[in-house]
Amino acid sequence: MTQQNLSSQKNSLRVYIGSSLFFIYIIISVAIFSPIIIFCAIFPFSFRYKVANLWATSIIAMARICCGLNYQVEGLENLPKGQAFIVLSKHQSAWETLATRAFLPMQTAVLKKSLTQIPLGGWALSTLKPISIDRENQRAALRTLIEQGTERLKEGLIVIIFPEGTRAAPGEDKKFNIGGAMLAQQSGYPVIPLAHNAGEFWPRYSFLKYPGTIKVKIGPAIESIDKKAKEINSEAEAWIAQAMKEITTN
């Protein structure tokens, strides 16, 4: 999607109507699903996870129906079989925080502690074994990431980390934080790099969502045994940077 095409879509009635309907669905679905997920805290995690996944995948489905937004994934064969792993993912949008539940195994993610304190949605999120960190205290945040991340990996969950920390606009590259690579070094679990161009269609801080196909690329596993965190981080960052050049359309 070129910048010219994106600009023309901003004047499209379909984009405004579709984005409005999609927003309404998000509000209604959060109000419905959040109490259900919170109630499901009395049940095993696997059941609670399935309910939460139903909500997340419904959001992605409604994005397709209302906004014409699809996605395609390349590289699923690179996912390690029969073991947990760490995903270091590009972060451009809210899309990837939901869509990964549709094509990656049972997972948890590193997120800001404040997100779990949001009424209903955040409370529901807090029941799903997130690794919530306080970004104001970086030393404590790193300790929490390594301790809880290793625990989640041993439980069989994959851990998704956005090493850029915050969402980056398409074409913007933020330096990778070392936390995810430190978790890999300390735990010995492999790293999977993941690139996507969701920000071109579901822009950060934007009400409007644009039709098109988000491209996702999953890279080969980066082994962490006998490697320093800096080396792991550099490999993942380089692979993602190259993959972004291949899939970015703007």
* pLDDT tens, residue by residue, 182-210: 999 999 999 999 999 999 999 988 999 99
What is the model's pTM? Answer: 0.91
The DSSP code sequence of 102-161 is HHS-SEEEEEEGGGGGSTTHHHHHTTS--EEE-TTSHHHHHHHHHHHHHHHHHTT-EEEE
The DSSP code sequence of the chain is --HHHHHHHTT-HHHHHHHHHHHHHHHHHHHHHHHHHHHGGGS-HHHHHHHHHHHHHHHHHHHHHHH-EEEEEE-GGGSPSSS--EEEE--SSSHHHHHHHHHS-SEEEEEEGGGGGSTTHHHHHTTS--EEE-TTSHHHHHHHHHHHHHHHHHTT-EEEE-TTSS---TT---PPPSHHHHHHHHH---EEEEEE-GGGTS-TT-S----EEEEEEEPPPB--TT--HHHHHHHHHHHHHHHHHHH---
Note the CATH number of domain 3-247.
Answer: 3.40.1130
Structure-block tokens of residue 61 = 């489905």
- Helix axis angle, 45-67 to 13-39, nearest 10°: 170
In sequence order, the 6+-apart residues with CB closer than 8 A to the CB of 34 are 120, 121, 123, 124
pLDDT score at 138: 81
Rounded Cα gap, residues 223 and 27, in angstroms:
41
* pLDDT tens, residue by residue, 58-90: 999 999 999 999 999 999 999 999 899 999 999
CB atoms within 10 A of CB 165: 16
Binned average pLDDT, 10 residues per bin, the chain of 250 residues: 44 89 96 95 95 96 96 96 95 94 93 87 91 84 92 96 90 89 95 96 93 96 94 96 86
